[in-house]
């Protein structure tokens, strides 16, 4: 049972780290941004560079501008450390404007970013709609909306949001946004050409090139071109070693049965739930009993969340993986995967729901997931056995 590149990013989706624009550092796909506290993206700002995140961050915002700076930094710290407590601090920085009808558009986008990170997708969408009504030229808002639409498998709506990015001058990011969305719908050859061209344009900007190469790697995986995907992952990590790409690459290696390599890729990563789960699974596949202590740590974390009275729905993806990989409880995995699929519908989420319902032998539920997947237009070689018509449409070229 091997998964594949998660999102998250959350999803699924615009990873930029050090020296990258705010639009991409603050969308859900920027889960692993590692030392950037960027400024707001403005129309025509493709070439803009940003400040480096200080080691310490203080929050005492008295103005919208100060609140935006503080919130961005707490959001970045949350992603760097996989610590959701920093999201609470980001919300605290935005608190004076959080519920105000006249909140500035850039603060509304940051609010939506916090909501999205907590998997409060309906609230995030409503907040973004307010932001874009107030300022239709808010490029960061359109990029964040495109991410939300992809996470929900609403690809035509995502493309519409990408077009609005282009209308307001951020051509490079609009191109990447569109290529990623179309790749999810099976246009893998066009994505390969487009991402390769973008990477060449960014030869002098390694952080941005790393992000584009990670998108290329994911697209190559969806096409079934595993060797090409691995090469792109390695190039991306060589440009900038970020956590999101490391997790995505680890998943690809797990799927290909290379558990030892997974431990190497994740060695320097912070011990987030996602990292611990993959380390534990790799160790289990290698016959190393050390996996048991890692699994126990993840379970203790979930128990602590429940004890605090916090909802576990935002952790449904990880709970499903835990049940499927480490606990051998397909019924529990299906329950968590079903909850997760109601929140987000990236390729990993479909895989989890299909795999878990199949192993749980819930025929009716499995059939319903297969039918729901068919309606999205998602084309992914890793899901091919559940979407027989998709095999030809994805133009699979394994190992190319």
At 8 the three-state DSSP class reads strand
pLDDT digit string, tens, across residues 83-118 = 777 899 999 999 999 988 899 999 999 999 999 988
C-alpha distances out from residue 42 to 33, 148, 209, 283, 395, Å: 20, 20, 20, 46, 37
3-state secondary structure of 17: coil
Residue 167 has, within 13 A of its CA and on its CB side, a CA count of 11
Exposure b/e, 183-204, CB count within 10 A at least 16 = b: bbbbbbeebbebbeebbeebee
**Residue 99's pLDDT is what?**
83
Query: Within 10 A of 58 (CB to CB), how many other CB atoms are there?
Result: 8
* Measured torsion, CA atoms of residues 228, 258, 269, 115, in degrees rounded to the nearest 10: 70
Tally Cβ neighbours within 10 Å of residue 206: 17
- Which has the higher per-residue pLDDT, 394 or 225? 225
**For residues 215 and 236, what is the distance between their CA atoms, to the nearest angstrom?**
9
What is the Cα–Cα distance from 395 to 122, expressed in whole angstroms? 34
Which comes out higher in pLDDT, residue 224 or 30? 224
pLDDT band at 311 (very low <50, low <70, confident <90, very high): confident
Residue that wins the pLDDT comparison between 43 and 209: 209
Helix, strand, or coil here: 1? coil
What SS3 string covers 290-353?
A: CHHHHHHHHHHHHHHHHHCCCCCHHHHHHHHHHHHHHCCCHHHHHHHHHHHHHHCCCHHHHHHH
Q: Is 322 exposed, middle or buried (0-12, 13-18, 19+ CB in 10 A)?
A: buried
Torsion angle (degrees, nearest 10) of CA 80, 280, 348, 398: 110
DSSP letter at 203 equals T
The structure tokens listed for 79 are: 């992603």
The DSSP letter of residue 53 is: P
Distance CA 299, CA 363 (A): 29
Task: Look up the pTM and report it.
Answer: 0.84
d(CA 295, CA 277): 7
3-state secondary structure of 61: coil
Q: What is the pLDDT of residues 185-208, one digit of tens each?
A: 999 999 999 999 999 999 999 999
Domain ranges of the chain: 22-393
Q: What is the mean pLDDT of residues 164-170?
A: 95
Q: Specify the pLDDT at position 178.
A: 98
Residues 144-153: tens digit of each pLDDT: 999 999 999 9
pLDDT of residue 140: 93
**8 Å CB contact between 142 and 164:** yes
Quick one: angle between helices 171-184 and 155-167, nearest 10?
170
Does residue 323 surpass a pLDDT of 50? yes
What's the average model confidence in pLDDT over 291-300?
A: 98
What pLDDT shows up at residue 83? 72
Per-residue pLDDT for 33 more than 50?
Answer: no
Reply yes or no on whether the pLDDT at 213 is more than 50. yes
What is the maximum span of the chain, computed from C-alpha positions, in angstroms?
Answer: 58
Class of domain 22-393: mainly alpha
Two tokens, residue 385: 């056995």
Alpha carbons 148 and 157: distance in angstroms, whole number: 10
CA–CA separation, 76 and 35 (whole Å): 8
Quick one: what percent of the chain has pLDDT higher than 90? 74
Residue 243's pLDDT band (boundaries 50, 70, 90)?
Answer: confident
The answer to whether residue 24 scores a pLDDT higher than 70 is no
Rounded to 5 degrees, what angle do the CA atoms 213, 216, 222 make? 150
């Amino acid at each position: 049972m091997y998964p594949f590149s998660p999102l998250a990013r959350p999803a699924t989706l615009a990873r930029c780290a050090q020296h990258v624009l705010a639009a991409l550092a603050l969308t859900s796909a920027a889960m692993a941004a590692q030392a950037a506290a960027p400024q707001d993206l403005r129309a025509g700002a493709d070439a803009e560079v940003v400040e480096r995140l200080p080691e310490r961050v203080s929050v005492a915002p008295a103005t919208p501008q100060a609140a935006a700076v503080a919130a961005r930094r707490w959001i970045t710290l949350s992603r760097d450390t996989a610590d959701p407590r920093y999201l609470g601090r980001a919300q605290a920085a935005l608190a004076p404007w959080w519920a105000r009808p006249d909140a500035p558009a850039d603060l509304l986008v940051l609010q939506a970013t916090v909501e999205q990170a907590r998997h409060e997708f309906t609230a995030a969408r409503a907040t973004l709609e307010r932001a874009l009504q107030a300022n239709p030229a808010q490029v960061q808002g359109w990029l964040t909306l495109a991410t939300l639409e992809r996470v929900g498998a609403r690809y035509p709506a995502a493309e519409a949001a990408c077009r609005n990015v282009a209308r307001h001058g951020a051509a490079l990011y609009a191109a990447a946004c569109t290529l990623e969305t179309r790749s999810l719908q099976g246009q893998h050859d066009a994505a390969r050409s487009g991402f390769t061209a973008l990477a060449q344009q960014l030869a002098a900007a390694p952080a941005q090139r790393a992000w584009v190469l990670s998108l290329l790697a994911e697209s190559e995986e969806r096409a079934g071109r595993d060797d090409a995907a691995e090469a792109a992952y390695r190039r991306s990590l060589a440009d900038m070693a970020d956590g999101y790409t490391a997790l995505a690459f680890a998943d690809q290696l797990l799927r290909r049965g290379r558990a030892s390599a997974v431990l190497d890729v994740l060695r320097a990563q912070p011990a987030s739930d996602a990292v611990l789960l993959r380390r534990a699974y790799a160790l289990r596949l290698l016959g190393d009993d050390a996996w048991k202590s890692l699994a126990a740590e993840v379970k203790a974390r979930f128990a602590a969340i429940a004890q605090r009275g916090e909802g576990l729905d935002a952790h449904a993806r990880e709970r499903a993986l835990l049940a499927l990989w480490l606990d051998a409880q397909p019924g529990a995995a299906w329950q968590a995967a079903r909850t997760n699929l109601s929140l987000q519908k990236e390729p990993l989420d479909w895989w989890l729901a299909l795999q878990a319902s199949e192993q749980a032998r819930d025929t009716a539920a499995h059939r319903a997931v297969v039918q729901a997947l068919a309606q999205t237009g998602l084309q992914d070689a890793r899901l091919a056995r559940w979407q027989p018509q998709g095999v030809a449409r994805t133009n699979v070229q394994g190992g190319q």
